[in-house]
Amino acid sequence: MDNTFHVFTDGSVIGNPGPGGWAAVLMSGDKKWEISGAMASTTISEMELLAAVEALRTIPTESRVQIHSDSELLIYGMLFHIERWRSHGWRNSRGVLLQNQGLWRQLLMMNGRMNIHWQWIRGHSGHPFQTRADALAYQAARTQGCGLQMAA
């Protein structure tokens, strides 16, 4: 029996910065659930990272996880850059402080506690779970943009 968690994440912002939403579709075995949330003023980068953080928070430590995201920043950041950023004081290759350091630090910590496979998936390519995460994130951003709160 496969006990891997499959997670599809996405973020959405109306304007950048602007009202934003994040979402994830999670599956394990025969269980499937969705989570989402919003912020009044944020960036697309923050929403993409927050979607992964919030999804991972719902999964037991030491789990096997496959994160699928259309965010190249998230996926390639975790696969190729995060250790270098950390070792250089959370600065990028130009020496500029990395934005969203707190989220990157959380992802690094979670990555050490779980067996996570980071997988880039083309956005708007028709994958049903990625499409659902995109719709949930957009809905959360739109709701936040109207001044309403969306429960996570």
Digit-by-digit pLDDT tens for the chain (152 residues) are 468 999 999 999 999 899 999 999 999 999 999 999 999 999 999 999 999 999 999 999 989 999 999 999 999 999 999 999 999 999 998 999 999 999 999 999 999 999 999 999 987 788 899 999 999 999 999 987 554 343 43
> Omega before 60 cis (within 30°)?
no
Q: What residues pair up with 18 in beta bridges, in sequence order? A: 42
Q: What is the pTM of this model?
A: 0.91
125 closest CA partner among 80, 68, 77, 75? 68
Distance CA 25, CA 95 (A): 35
What's the CATH code, domain 5-145? 3.30.420.10
**Active centre residues (catalytic):** 10-11, 48, 70, 124, 134
pLDDT for residue 127: 85
Tell me, what's the pLDDT at 2?
61
Beta strand 64-69 pairing with 5-13: parallel
**How much is the pLDDT for 126?**
83
Structure confidence at residue 145 (pLDDT): 58
